[in-house]
Structure 1
Amino acid sequence: MSVPALQLDGLRKSFGKTEIIRGVDLSIGKGERHAIIGPNGAGKSTLFNLITGRFPKSSGSIRLHGHDLEGMAPFEINRRGLSRSFQITNIFPRMTVFENVRCSLLWSQGYKYSFWNMVSRQRALTEGAEAILEQINLTARRDLPAGVLSYAEQRALEIGITIAGGADVIMLDEPTAGMSHSETDYIVDLIRKVTENKTLIMVEHDMGVVFGLADRISVLVYGEIIATDTPELVRGNARVQEAYLGAALEAEH
C-alpha cells in the first residue's frame, strides 16, 4: 500500500476556548487532485495554515509522504516538497516577472546563501526560469514589472512561483477568486497543466472549477469534514446538500 501524499489524523486547532478545527482525519493520495469546500467560516484557511506550518496545531498529526511535520517551520515544510499559494496574490510587484520566478528557483537549485554568485550569470537558473514562464504562458511578459500584470496573470505568476521549487504537493487557496469566466478558464487550464503528475490540494468556492478539476472532494463544515468522496457522490450527498452544496450551487446561477 502506497504512503499518502498527505495524512491528517485527529487534527485540532483552538484559538483560546474557540475550537476551529475539530478532529479532522484526511488522507490524500499521491497524484490526486483534491478540493476542500465549505461555507465561509468553516475553517478552510485555518486548515491550510496548519498543514503549511503557519499555525501550530493544538493536537493531532500531519504527515507529508509519511514524515511527521511536528514542529517544522513553513520553510522547512516547503523544502520537504509542499508549496502553497495564498488567497491574496503574493508576488514582488516591482521586480520583473522573470525575476520573481528566478528568485523562487534559487534554493531548489542549490544557491542558498551564496552571496558571491551573480545570478544573472547562472545559465541553468535562467533556463529554469524561462521554462516556467513558458509553462505559465507569461514569456511575453518576461521583462515587465509584475505589478502591472492583469489580475489573472498575477495569479498565474504566483502559481509559477509555487511550482518553481519543485514541490510535488501543491496547495492553492481560492486560485480563481474574483475572476471573470474567461480568466477562470485560463487559470483552470493552467492548473491542470502545471499540476500534472503532482498532488493538488485546493480550496475553491467556484463549484464549476471544483467539479471540473477534482478527483475527490472533502466538505468542511464548522471545522469537521462531513464527507469525502468523488465529485458525483458528493453532489448527491443529502447531508452535504443540506449543509452547503445546494446553497453554493444556487448562488452561481
Structure 2
Amino acid sequence: MNATSNQSALKLADVRKSFGKTEIIRGVDLDIRKGERHAVIGPNGAGKSTLFNLISGRFPVSSGKIELNGQDITGLKPFEINRRGLSRSFQITNIFHRMSVFENIRCATLYALGYRYSFWHRLAKLADAVERAEDILQRIGLQNRRDTQAGLLTYAEQRALEIGITIAGGADVILLDEPTAGMSRSESDHAVELISRVTEGKTLVMVEHDMSVVFGLADRISVVVYGEVIATDAPAGIKSNRAVQEAYLGTTLAEA
C-alpha cells in the first residue's frame, strides 16, 4: 500500500459533461490524495471512461474545475496536462506496433529528459534515455523481449508495455483505464503485482471491472452510477455499502 498524505494530487469540483442535451457526468466531486491508489468502479455506461477523458483533457468539461497538484488544469490540452505530471493508459492498447519494445519505452522518456524534436540527434547516443528505458524494461519484466517488435507481444505483454510507456515520462499521477481487461486470472494476478510495484510512491487512479483487482490494489474506491459518485470509502466500507450493492444489481461485492 502506498503512503498517502493529506495533500490533494487530483481534485474535481462539480465537474459536469454534456453531449448535446444529454448530461453524462453530473456534478462529480473527488479529492484524491498524493500517494493514494484510488479505484473508480461502476456499472457499464456509468461514465467512468468519460471521467478519465475529462481528467486527461481528451474531452473538455462542460462546467466545473479540475486541479492537478494544486494547479488548475481545466481546459488544458492533453499534452499540457501530461507535462504537468499526469499520464494515462487506455482501454485499447496504445503502442507503436512496428517498433521494438525498447524503442517504445525510449520514445516515452524523451520529453521528460529535456529532448525536443531534432533531426541531428541520434537516439542511440542519448545515454540517459537508454538508461531510463532499460530500467523500465527491467521493472515491467520485459527485458528479455527488448528487441521484439511490439506488435508480436502477447496481449498481457502489450498491456505491460503500455504501463511502462505510461510511467516512462516520470509522471507522479498515473491513470490506468481497465488495465487487466481481457486477461486470464493468472495474467491478471501478474498485472496487479506489476502495477503495485511500478506505481510505488506515485498516485494511481484506475478504472477497473475486476473486483479482485480493485480490492487488491485500492486504498479507497469511488463508485460512479449514472454520472454521479454515490460513495467514496475504503474497500471494507464499499463492500458493506447497501447503495453500492444495489447499484450493481445483485452482484455481491461483499464476497469479492
Range into which the TM-score falls when normalised by the shorter chain? over 0.9
| 2:139 corresponds to | 135
**1:164, distance to aligned residue in structure 2 (A):** 0.2
The answer to whether residue 37 in structure 2 is matched with residue 23 in structure 1 is no
Match of 1:241, SS state, is: helix
Looking at structure 2, the residues matched to 73 and 248 of structure 1 have their Cα atoms a distance apart, in angstroms, of: 39
Partner in structure 2 of residue 54 of structure 1: 58
CA 1:197–1:167 in 2, change beyond 3 Å: closer, same or farther? same
Aligned residues: 252
Distance 2:199 2:132 in 1: 17
Superposition RMSD on alpha carbons, in Å?
A: 1.5
- For residues 127 and 82 of structure 2, the distance between their equivalents in structure 1, rounded to whole angstroms, comes to 25
Length-normalised TM-score, structure 1? 0.97
AA matched with 2:114: G
List per-residue Cα deviations over 1:125-164 (Å, max 9, x = no partner): 1111100000000000000000010111000000000000
1:106 aligns with 2:110: yes
Indicate the larger mover: 104-113 or 213-222: 104-113
Give the TM-score of the pair, scaled to structure 2: 0.96
Secondary structure of 1:131's partner?
A: helix
Q: Distance in 2 between matches of 1:248 and 1:103?
A: 43
Displacement, 1:178?
Answer: 0.6
1:223 lines up with 2:227 in the alignment: yes
CA contact (8 A) 2:245 2:253 kept: no
| Counterpart contact for 1:105–1:164, Cα < 8 Å | yes
Instruction: Determine if contact 1:207/1:248 at 8 Å carries over to the other structure.
Output: no
- 2:174: which partner in 1? 170
Gaps of 5+ in 1: none
Match of 2:15 in 1: 11
Q: Which runs of 5+ in 2 are unaligned?
A: none
CA distance in 1, matches of 2:195, 2:249: 23
* Identity fraction in percent: 70
2:185 is aligned, of 168, 178, 181, to 181
Q: Is the 8 A contact 1:84 1:170 kept in 2?
A: yes
Range with greater deviation from structure 2 (108-117 or 235-244): 108-117
